[in-house]
Amino acid sequence: MLASAAKLSDWIVGIRRELHEYPELMYEEIKTGAVVRRTLDELGIKYKYPMATTGIVAAIGDGKGPCVALRADMDALPIHEEVDVPFRSKVDGKMHACGHDCHTAMLLGAARLLKERESDVHGTVKLIFQPAEEGGAGGERMCDEGALNNPDVQRIFGIHVWPYLPMGAVGSRTGVFLAAAGVLEITVTGRGGHAAMPHTTLDPVMTSAKIVTELQTIVSREVDPLEPAVISVTTIHGGDAHNVIPQSVKMGGTVRSLTLDGLRFLQKRVREVAQQVAIANRCEATVEFPGNDYPPVLNDATAWGSARAMAEEMLGKNAVVELPPVMGGEDFAFYTQRVPGCFVVLGVKQDGDGPVYGVHHPLFTANEKALPVGAALHASYALRALEELR
């Protein structure tokens, strides 16, 4: 399978670069979906569209037996790309900084590999091309709209590119692999005025600074040091002039834990701490957790065991590693809430000793040599899982 995928390398990379040039944010994946559907049509693979606004579910196999799903996300991020490559983003302020262009291209590569072997697909392999992973809970909507039904999926597999591992290496673990995650928004309201007369104001800037500092004591003093937890304030907006204390300050960030109970505790304490610090400074704090709380990604032991064995056979034992939990969130979690599954990361670190830029960075790059490896992993896992489930 790996040798067959290597022969498709230029084709897979070509799709990835086409997608990379025109990144689209969540639920806007019109051009991306068109490339996916065009490719599926060329391969003679039937699909259902639309699901969850811009999602696509294709199927390969004889339909006689078990059903396994492979998933790729398609959306980009609101980041302006700084990578100097010929296929850099042509859309200002948008970039495939999390590698979802790679994920989609790898799954299309797997689609071609599986279609060429369709006589060996005893059952059904669903190919889920999902929108809105980056905060839009597209995975949950795909599940709610039946992506895992008719026929019912019995096992699911997903891959995320990972710049921290050597090219072609595979990593994951049994149990919780990725964190539960939620969005945080705080608005601190005071009374603005002249910066030269702070005693006539109720300063929301100073109060916000105290809140940011105090929130960190929740993690350092209220959470067991052996239990990972994250509260990160990542945006602060307030004021427009150097000599004016503003009326209000808005802050945003994220809250993360390895359990939903842990996430709920952090959210409760963030609200309490922010509001009480604001009161102590004669201001008011409004705390919200908008959007969608992502549950943790839970890898089934059997599914990871199968994926690990398959990857070791394909790439060698030294290329497969057990990783500790990662505090990143992923809406693949909505699938693993419903069916046993496995989510793995695939090393895309560039050759050489240059700097490593992580996902969600404007200089993030993926080593394209890994793309056929990902396609082969997808296809091989599907065939192996179908055989195990028969």
Q: What pLDDT is recorded for position 286? A: 98
Q: Where are the alpha helices (DSSP H) in the chain?
A: 2-7, 9-21, 30-43, 100-116, 138-144, 204-222, 260-280, 301-315, 333-336, 371-389
Exposure letters 267-298 (e unless 16+ CB within 10 A, then b): bebbbebbbebbeebebbbebebeebbbbbbb
pLDDT digits (tens, 9 = 90+) for 47-99: 999 999 999 999 999 999 999 999 999 999 999 999 999 999 999 999 999 99
Q: Under CATH, what is the fold of the domain 180-288?
A: Alpha-Beta Plaits (3.30.70)
Is residue 108 within 8 A of residue 15, CB to CB? The reply is yes
Alpha-carbon distance of 280 to 299, in angstroms, equals 44
The pTM of the full predicted model, rounded to 2 decimals, is 0.95
Long-range pairs for 320-325: beta carbons < 8 A, 24 or more residues apart: 320/169, 320/170, 320/171, 321/165, 321/169, 321/170, 321/171, 322/171, 322/172, 322/173, 323/171, 323/172, 323/173, 323/177, 324/173, 325/173, 325/176, 325/177, 325/178, 325/179, 325/228, 325/258
Give the pLDDT of residue 284. 98
Rounded Cα distance, 211 and 110, in Å = 48
Q: What single letter denotes the amino acid at residue 112?
A: R
At 172 the pLDDT is: 98
- The predicted pLDDT at position 299 comes to 98
Q: Which DSSP category does 359 fall into?
A: T
In this predicted structure, what is the pLDDT of residue 5?
98
Predicted pLDDT at 95 = 98
Bridge partners of residue 192, in order along the sequence: none
> Cα angle at 38 between 34 and 44, to 5 degrees?
145
The pLDDT, as a whole number, for residue 11 is: 98
Do the beta carbons of residue 137 and residue 292 sit within 8 Å? yes
User: What tokens does 385 get?
Assistant: 């899982």
Provide the terminal-to-terminal Cα distance of the chain, rounded to the nearest Å: 21
Show me where the domains of the chain are located. Answer: 2-178+296-389, 180-288
CATH class of the domain at 2-178+296-389: alpha beta
Residues of the chain where predicted confidence (pLDDT) is lower than 70: none
For residue 255, give the DSSP letter: E
